[in-house]
Amino acid sequence: MRRRVLLLSTVHPATDPRILYKIAPSLAKEYEVFCVLPHAMPNASSETITMIWLPAFQSLYMRLLFSHTLVLFKCLRLRPHLVHIFVPELIPVALLFKWLGANVIYEVQENLFKKFSIKTFNNSILFQKLFQLFDHYARKHFALILSEDAYLKEYDKLTYPSAVVRNYALLSFSDQYTAGVPVESRAPEFIYMGVISLERSFDTLVLALATLKQAYPDFKMHLFGSVRISQNEIKKLPGYQEVAENLSFYGYADQKTMFKYARKAMAGIALLKPVADYPDSYTTKLFEYMSLKLPVITSDFPLYRNVVEQSECGFCISPYHAESLSDKLQWLIKNPEQRIRMGINGRRSVERMYNWASEERTLLAFYRALSGN
């Protein structure tokens, strides 16, 4: 009989690519997996992965009151052997599972000690103090998975085993949407995947596109991700009124939807400003663009330069310089052969180094060690 694994988050959407498309299927090769996520649809379950629905709340207060109660009601009876939590607010819930005999894995996906400085909600002093308390407890009592090597500096004194499982690209998934010849559109198209915020250089992007429009008035910019700027702020951004009709906002979307637009795009954009933990953490979109054979335009952080410049798959620029971004976009439009070569170079680098297959081996070995297999 396969051991049971409970993958649990009250925050991540039901189509979160790391949980749903990478971790869950990898573990399902050896375990019976239960995936508990907001708005997870039970009819999406398979023979080895059972989806369990939770409500979705942005407010931490509401999650503590309703989501956590529902987790206990639905999941305690499962008696899982391993419980893998993806957000620190679930540490008290995980503690109960540990008391009942489960091994607990706490996954660190962001350095909240740095991230609180830019969070716009669920950021009260009380929440910060509670996070520090829970996080300290998890270091002492849970095994840890870190999604970035940089987090080893913060999480260096641990009682239980830890492993770094990076969020590299899943090629088998990307290939479902990039098969065949790229589709050439009449007007230049570009794609952005990720949270839309000023910290992620949306103001720089808008100003760059306003310049681009002077030469290419019909360009299209596809923006996938939750918007963390008010509409009033967006309308006041320099250049926005000029390019508003060229921008398409889709909100958060499943990768199955986003990747279909990549076939028409000339580049993928992933600019982040040097705030919080951004300079120390990879933006996962970088590797996804590369796997999709898209040239990338990203920030000039040393960490990113090490990937992009060595792979010769795009450009690293200042996240504040709109003129530089506009220049790179126009260069890619004017140089189709070099653009295609950059895309191929990025894909080859993912195939060699930045792919999920290597991380899956680490993940499974870590689980085997914890479960005694």
- Mean pLDDT computed over every residue of the chain: 93
Across the range 314-330, mean pLDDT stands at 98
**In the predicted model, is pLDDT for residue 181 greater than 60?**
no
pLDDT above 70: percentage of residues in the chain: 95
pLDDT bin (cut points 50, 70, 90) of residue 117 is low
pLDDT above 90: percentage of residues in the chain: 82
Q: 32-45 pLDDT, tens per residue?
A: 999 999 999 988 77
What is the model's pLDDT at position 240?
Answer: 98
What is the domain class of 172-352 according to CATH? alpha beta
Cα gap 331→339, rounded to integer Å: 9
Q: 152-168 pLDDT, tens per residue?
A: 999 988 999 999 999 99
What is the model's pLDDT at position 229?
Answer: 94
Give the Å distances, CA to CA, from 30 to 1, 24, 364: 10, 11, 8
Q: 267-316 pLDDT, tens per residue?
A: 999 999 999 899 999 999 999 999 999 999 999 999 999 999 999 999 99
What residues contact residue 331 under an 8 Å CB cut-off, 6+ apart? none
Across the range 365-370, mean pLDDT stands at 96
**In the predicted model, is pLDDT for residue 324 greater than 90?**
yes
- Of the candidate ranges 13-17, 58-62, 182-186, the one whose mean pLDDT is the lowest: 182-186
**Bigger pLDDT: 298 or 125?**
298
What is the model's pLDDT at position 122?
Answer: 62
Phi-psi region of 117 (alpha: psi -120 to 50; beta: other; left: phi over 0): alpha
**In the predicted model, is pLDDT for residue 99 greater than 70?**
yes
Instruction: For 20-118, list the strands marked E by DSSP.
Output: 32-38, 49-54, 82-85, 103-108
What is the model's pLDDT at position 185?
Answer: 62
Cα gap 286→314, rounded to integer Å: 10
What is the model's pLDDT at position 120?
Answer: 66
Equal fold, 4-168+356-371 vs 172-352: yes
Cα gap 157→150, rounded to integer Å: 14
CB atoms within 10 A of CB 12: 20
Give the Å distances, CA to CA, from 12 to 1, 85, 247: 29, 11, 26
Q: What share of the chain is helix, strand, coil (3-state, %, to 5)?
A: 45, 15, 35
pLDDT bin (cut points 50, 70, 90) of residue 266 is very high
Cα gap 87→12, rounded to integer Å: 9
Q: Which DSSP symbol is given to 78?
A: G
Cα gap 158→140, rounded to integer Å: 6
**Bigger pLDDT: 42 or 194?**
194
Q: Which DSSP symbol is given to 200?
A: T
Cα gap 220→212, rounded to integer Å: 11
From the list 87, 82, 75, 4, the residue with the least C-alpha distance to 36 is 75
**In the predicted model, is pLDDT for residue 196 greater than 90?**
yes
What is the model's pLDDT at position 119?
Answer: 67
The residue extents of the domains of the chain are: 4-168+356-371, 172-352
**In the predicted model, is pLDDT for residue 184 greater than 80?**
no
Q: Which CATH superfamily is domain 4-168+356-371 in?
A: Glycogen Phosphorylase B; (3.40.50.2000)
Q: 206-246 pLDDT, tens per residue?
A: 999 999 999 999 999 999 999 999 999 999 999 999 999 99
Number of H helices and number of E strands within the chain?
17, 13
Q: 63-83 pLDDT, tens per residue?
A: 989 999 999 999 999 999 999
What residues contact residue 266 under an 8 Å CB cut-off, 6+ apart? 188, 189, 190, 294, 295, 329, 332, 333, 339
- Of the candidate ranges 47-56, 174-183, 286-295, 324-333, the one whose mean pLDDT is the lowest: 174-183
